[in-house]
């Protein structure tokens, strides 16, 4: 077989080659993501001014940074940002820790019934978010919950819906729903760890948990980073779960999370303010994601 020489083709030729592959996706991407984003950002610099009773309609005026000033003076919105940060801190590490352990366990030779467990762990992810939240709201509702009932029968008074318990109850729904998804992602990454590496380690005396932690985990760092960033983003965009919880926990405010606050502005027909709120949220997510990437990059030598 003759050796193949690989030439470096010109950039223009590469562009022509790439175009039919990239353009279909890119065109749709611009329409579905970039145009709405651009629209939102532009709208955040405008405001609607009505007069009198408002019957005569409204005019849109340029408002500069007015909406953003309002955002930073909005105590409820700032509180919502703090809340999702808190939920992220208590939930994401726990969930990813569990996902990592479960993925390692499924991957290890010590486990049996891998297929069953893979499906079992995946099922919650297959339940639509609103449905999962619905089921959990029935499981948390003070007078209906079989769990509360069970504890009451042994004399323990638990409530999942007090102000203090709410972040943890919501964190639980998130962990329940998303661990399986992350387990699958990590498990898939573990498949790429070459058998030779593990065998070599075993020969050197490193096997079982030691091997898993010291060898497998570092090798799947990119996948772990991916799940971390996606989880952080997902937490900041929290919406379905608190909204469904509201029906069993009336003490849950309508501005519990930033998205809820922005959608409340939308329902109040204050589109420009909602745009500003979502730009601020998007910017915060950006900053946090970049920080997470930087922090993990520093650890990889």
Partner 1 sequence: MLNRKARLTAAAVVAATGIALTGCAGDTGASTGGPAQITFWGWAAGYDKSVALWNESHPDIQVKYETITNGGAGGYDKMLAAAKAGTAPCLAQIGYETFSSFLAAGLLQDVSQYVKPQHAEFPEWVWGNVGVDGAAYGVPVDTAPMGMFYRSDLFTAAKIAVPKTWEEFKTAAAAVKAADPKARIMNLPTDPYLYAGFAWQGGAPWFGVNGDAWTVSLDSAANSTVAGYWQGLFDQDLVTSYPAFDAALFSAWNSGEVWAEVGPVWSASLIRDNAAKSAGKWAVAPMPRWGTDDSVGNSGGSATAVMKGCANPKEATEFAMWMSTDDKSVSNLIESAAILPASTSGLANAALDAPESYYGGQAIYQVFRSESAKVNSNWRWGPVMSTTAAALGDGLGKVPTKSATFQDALSGAQTDTVSALEAQGFSVSK
Partner 2 sequence: MTVTLPSPTRNEPVAGVPNRRRRRAHPLTTVSPASRLFVLAVMILFAVYFLLPVWWLVVSVTKGSGEIFSGNGFWFGESFAFVENIKTLFQAQGGIYSRWLLNSLLYAVGGGIVSTLLASMCGYALAKFRFPGREAVFGTVLAAVLLPAPVLAIPLYLVFSATGIINTFWAVFIPSIVSPFGVYLSRIYAASSIPDALIEAGRIDGAGEMRIFGMGVRLMAPAMVTIFLFQFVAIWTNFLLPSLMLADSTLQPVTVGLVGWREMQGNPISYTTVVTGAFVSVVPVVAMFLSLQSFWSKGLAAGAVK
Site mask for partner 2 (CB under 8 A), range 273-292, x = bound: -xx-xx--xx--xx--x---
Partner that binds at residue 126, options partner 2, partner 1, none, CB closer than 5 to 8 Å by kind: partner 2
Binders of partner 2 among 5-24, rule CB under 8 A?
6-7, 11, 14-15, 17-18, 20-22, 24
Residue whose C-alpha is closest to residue 241's, from 128, 122, 129, 88:
129
How many whole angstroms separate alpha carbon 191 and alpha carbon 186? 9
Record the tokens describing residue 158, joined without a space. 């638990």
Task: Give the range of 10-18, 95-103, 119-127, 136-144 binding partner 1 by CB under 8 A.
Answer: 136-144
C-alpha dihedral over 18, 20, 24, 25, to 10 degrees?
Answer: -20
Q: How many residues does the chain have?
A: 301
CA nearest to 44, candidates 290, 282, 285, 289: 282
Contact between 109 and partner 2 by CB under 8 A: the answer reads yes
Q: Does 233 bind partner 2 (CB under 8 A)?
A: yes
Residue 190 to residue 181: CA distance in whole angstroms: 14
Dihedral, 222, 223, 226, 228 alpha carbons, nearest 10: -100
100, 76 contact by CB (below 8 A): no
Contact map string, positions 53 to 92, toward partner 2, x by CB under 8 A: ----------------------------------------
For the chain, the farthest-separated pair of C-alpha atoms sits apart, in whole angstroms, at 85
Helix (H, G, I), strand (E, B) or coil at 228: helix
* Contacting residues for 242 by C-beta, under 8 A, at least 6 apart: 170, 252, 256, 257, 260
291 binds partner 1 (CB under 8 A): no
Please choose which of partner 1, partner 2, none residue 105 contacts, taking the beta carbon within 5 to 8 angstroms, the exact cut-off set by kind.
partner 2
Q: Which does 296 bind (CB under 5 to 8 A by kind): partner 2, partner 1, none?
A: none
- Report the site for partner 1 in 163-222 (rule: CB under 8 A): 163
CB of 3 to partner 1, least distance (A): 37
Site for partner 1 in 234-263 (CB under 8 A): 247-255
Binding test (CB under 8 A) with partner 2, winner from 55, 110, 156, 297: 110
Does 300 sit near partner 1 (CB under 8 A)? no
Shorter beta-carbon distance to partner 2: residue 11 or 55: 11
CB 58 within 8 A of CB 48: yes
Site string for partner 1, 38-77 (x = CB under 8 A): xx-xxx---xxxxxxxxxxxx-x---------x-------
> If binding is defined by CB under 8 A, does position 193 make contact with partner 2?
yes
Residue 149 C-beta: closest distance to partner 1, Å: 12
Partner from partner 2, partner 1, none binding residue 124, C-beta < 5-8 Å depending on class: partner 2
3-state helix vs strand vs coil in the chain, percent to 5: 70, 5, 25
Q: Are 76 and 255 in contact (CB under 8 A)?
A: yes
Q: Between residue 11 and residue 40, which ones bind partner 1 under the rule CB under 8 A?
A: 30, 34-35, 37-39
Contact by Cβ (8 Å): 206, 226: no
Helix (H) or strand (E) segment spanning residue 17: helix 11-29
Task: By CB under 8 A, name the binding residues for partner 1.
Answer: 30, 34-35, 37-39, 41-43, 47-58, 60, 70, 138, 141-144, 162-163, 247-255, 264, 266-271, 273, 286, 290, 293
């Amino acid at each position: 077989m003759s050796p193949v020489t690989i030439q470096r083709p010109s950039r223009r030729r590469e562009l022509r080659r790439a175009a039919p592959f990239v353009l279909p996706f890119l065109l749709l991407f611009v329409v579905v993501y970039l145009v709405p984003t651009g629209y939102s950002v532009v709208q955040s610099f405008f405001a609607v001014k009505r007069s009198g009773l408002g019957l005569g309609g409204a005019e849109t005026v340029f408002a500069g940074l007015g909406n953003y000033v309002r955002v930073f003076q909005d105590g409820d919105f700032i509180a919502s940002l703090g809340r999702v940060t808190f939920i992220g801190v208590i939930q994401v590490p726990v969930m990813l820790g569990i996902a990592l352990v479960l993925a390692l366990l499924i991957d290890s030779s010590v486990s049996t019934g891998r297929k069953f467990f893979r499906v079992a762990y995946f099922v919650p992810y297959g339940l639509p978010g609103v449905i999962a939240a619905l089921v959990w709201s029935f499981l948390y509702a003070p007078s209906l919950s079989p769990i509360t009932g069970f504890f009451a029968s042994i004399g323990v008074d638990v409530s999942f819906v007090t102000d203090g318990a709410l972040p943890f109850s919501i964190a639980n729904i998130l962990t329940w729903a998303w661990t399986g998804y992350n387990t699958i992602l990590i498990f898939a990454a573990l498949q790429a760890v070459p058998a030779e590496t593990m065998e070599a380690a075993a020969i050197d005396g490193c096997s079982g948990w030691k091997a898993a932690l010291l060898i497998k985990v570092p090798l799947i760092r990119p996948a772990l980073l991916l799940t971390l960033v996606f989880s952080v983003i997902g937490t900041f965009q929290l919406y379905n779960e608190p909204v469904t919880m509201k029906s069993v926990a009336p003490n849950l405010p309508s501005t519990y999370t930033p998205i809820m606050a922005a959608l409340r502005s939308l329902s109040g027909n204050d589109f420009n303010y909602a745009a500003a709120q979502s730009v601020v949220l998007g910017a915060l997510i950006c900053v946090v994601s970049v920080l997470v990437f930087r922090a993990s990059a520093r650890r990889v030598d």
